[in-house]
Amino acid sequence: MTKQICAYCGGQADLLCDYRLGWERLRTKMRQEVPHLATLPSHNVPLRYRHIHTCDTPLCHACAKHSGPIFFCLRGGHGFSDSIDYCPDHDGHGTSRMEITGLQARLLRQRWVAKAKARWQKHTPSAEQATLF
């Protein structure tokens, strides 16, 4: 696994942003299972045929905004917890209900990460030069 760096500070990233960019209908699955529903308007597509696209920006613990933890209870008494984490600029509100394509999601992510990185890389322009010596 490649080591991810935090898009907001360049530190080590252990988290990914869970902000929802939108969702995409599972076309292949729909065509196989419910071909008559494949062309439904967005708001009528059942949840089980929706794939949620999340922001997925790599974040370190210091930069991420935590909105959790959520506890999962599994059968047999085993439980585990997980947290929901967001970019500093993604606070979880305004979660998108829009239907988007996988390509749109990828472009949104790229643009978002580039914007986040540009901010701290501009503040520390000498960091890269310093490593040359």
In the complex, least distance from residue 124 CB atom to Zn ion, rounded to whole angstroms: 13
Q: Give the whole-angstrom CA distance, residue 87 versus residue 84.
A: 11
Give yes or no for residue 21 binding Zn ion (CB under 5 A): no
Closer to Zn ion by CB, 32 or 110: give it. 110
Closer to Zn ion by CB, 51 or 119: give it. 119
In the complex, least distance from residue 8 CB atom to Zn ion, rounded to whole angstroms: 5
Q: Give the whole-angstrom CA distance, residue 96 versus residue 54.
A: 10
How many Å is the Cα radius of gyration of the chain?
19
Question: Cβ neighbours of residue 82 under 8 Å, at least 6 residues apart?
Answer: 68, 69, 70, 72
Residues contributing to the site for Zn ion (CB under 5 A): 6, 8-9, 11, 17, 19, 55, 57, 60, 63, 87, 90
